[in-house]
Amino acid sequence: MQKTKDDIAPMDFEFATANRIIFGADKRLELASLVKEYGHRVFLITGANTDRANWATELLDQNDIPCSSFQIVTEPTIDVVRQAICMALEANADVVVAIGGGSVIDAGKAVAAMLTNEGRLMDYLEVIGEGQPLTQRSAPFIALPTTAGTGAEVTRNAVLGSTEHKLKVSMRSPFMLPAVALVDPVLTHSMSPAVTASTGLDALTQLMEAFVSNKANPLTDGICREGLVRAARSIKSAYLGDDIFAREDMAMAGLFSGLALANAKLGAVHGFAGPLGGMYPAPHGVICARFLPAIMKANITALEARNAGSPVLNRYQEVFRILTGSDDTTRGIKWIENLCDQLDVTPLKEYGIHSHAFPDIIEKAKASSSMKGNPIALTDDELETALCVAVQG
């Protein structure tokens, strides 16, 4: 079969993910038996509301599995993760379990990595650290997401905040892929509408960016298409109430977005989201949601001007058909803008982002690894225009 003009995916690629992915309602109840396959003493990392993980501590106790717990109250910082590492070592833990959103799971990946690798956490952090590669596979790590969006349960990096540098940086290695991604949609039913919106829009963004990425491949293409269909039809219903089928769709979309981004690259939306998340108290999903229509418009305009024959333009039309039933660009971008309003996504200007910071934001965004996956290199002027649109609304 000949390649078509719509095909940008290379025939040479690599695909890696968690050792096992278990998906389905009430699959969380398999946790104890899974732990016993990998070790004997659990270090459990939870979010701010520990009550949401009571079922897990009770299950582990019923199965005579010793368990030490640690809370991630806000997004994980380097200092907080250092504390968690020390506690896990003192507890002589040999299995790490994380029950929570992307922040909790990222912290779990970092802790599991440092249980088996020598040295300091800073030795392995990108940008502000030494960026050294891990030499040993992480301790067995089981990830149970309670949000539907980040896909952190199947990615190979942990994003940690540095309060000193006002940056979010990554620790990254194939050795950090979880042993088990245990995805139970029931765990996402406790999400508030705001968190449902933020994480769901993050998933939608990741699926779109991976689909038009310059590193897209045939396997991620199929995953993105399926994820986009599920997210488009269910994100509003999940936001509005406890529609179990919509929750299941969004849990699947979040999982698929993680599979896609880990094996293709993202783009300029996440190029901006990383620096802005370290500089301002805006949720990651909110930043992505407000940047997505602005960056899509910037990319399409730039491609039409400088690479009119690019197959990426056909991919954008395919995305719009999934979202709206039409390949019209204006209608597709308006659909996303309206979705942000329908899900009551906070405008970015309310987080104190002012134009005097734009040059710094743009320079940091250009240096982001995510920016390397954008389907076309945007100029500084194009980046500034997109930033203005995203922030000003």
Q: Give the C-alpha separation, 251 to 119, whole Å.
A: 36
Q: Give the C-alpha separation, 256 to 203, whole Å.
A: 8
Strands 42-46 and 67-71: parallel
- Domain spanning 27-183, CATH architecture: 3-Layer(aba) Sandwich (3.40)
Q: Give the C-alpha separation, 271 to 278, whole Å.
A: 12
- Find, among 96, 90, 277, 313, the residue nearest to 202 by Cα: 277
Residues 217-258: tens digit of each pLDDT: 999 999 999 999 999 999 999 999 879 999 999 999 999 999
pLDDT for 12: 80
Residues 267-320: tens digit of each pLDDT: 999 999 988 988 898 989 999 999 999 999 999 999 999 999 999 999 999 999
pLDDT for 278: 84
Task: List C-alpha distances in Å: 132 to 37, 158, 167, 344, 376.
Answer: 30, 14, 19, 41, 30
Question: Token pair of 286, please?
Answer: 């909110």
Q: Give the C-alpha separation, 113 to 117, whole Å.
A: 6
The pTM for the full model equals: 0.93
pLDDT for 1: 40
Q: Which residues of the chain form beta strands (DSSP E)?
A: 20-23, 42-46, 67-71, 95-100, 141-145, 157-162, 167-172, 180-183
Query: Where along the chain do its domains lie?
Result: 27-183, 190-392
Q: Which residues of the chain have pLDDT under 50?
A: 1-2
Contact 364, 275 (CB under 8 A): yes
**Long-range CB pairs of 225-230, under 8 A, 24+ apart, other chains included:** 225/318, 225/322, 226/252, 226/256, 227/203, 227/252, 227/253, 227/256, 227/257, 227/260, 228/204, 228/253, 228/319, 228/322, 228/323, 229/322, 230/256
Burial of 344 (0-12, 13-18, 19+ CB in 10 A): exposed
Q: Give the C-alpha separation, 269 to 292, whole Å.
A: 6
- Domain spanning 190-392, CATH architecture: Up-down Bundle (1.20)
pLDDT for 14: 87
pLDDT for 74: 84
- CA 124 to chain CA mean position, Å: 20
Q: What DSSP element (H or E) covers 294? A: helix 284-306
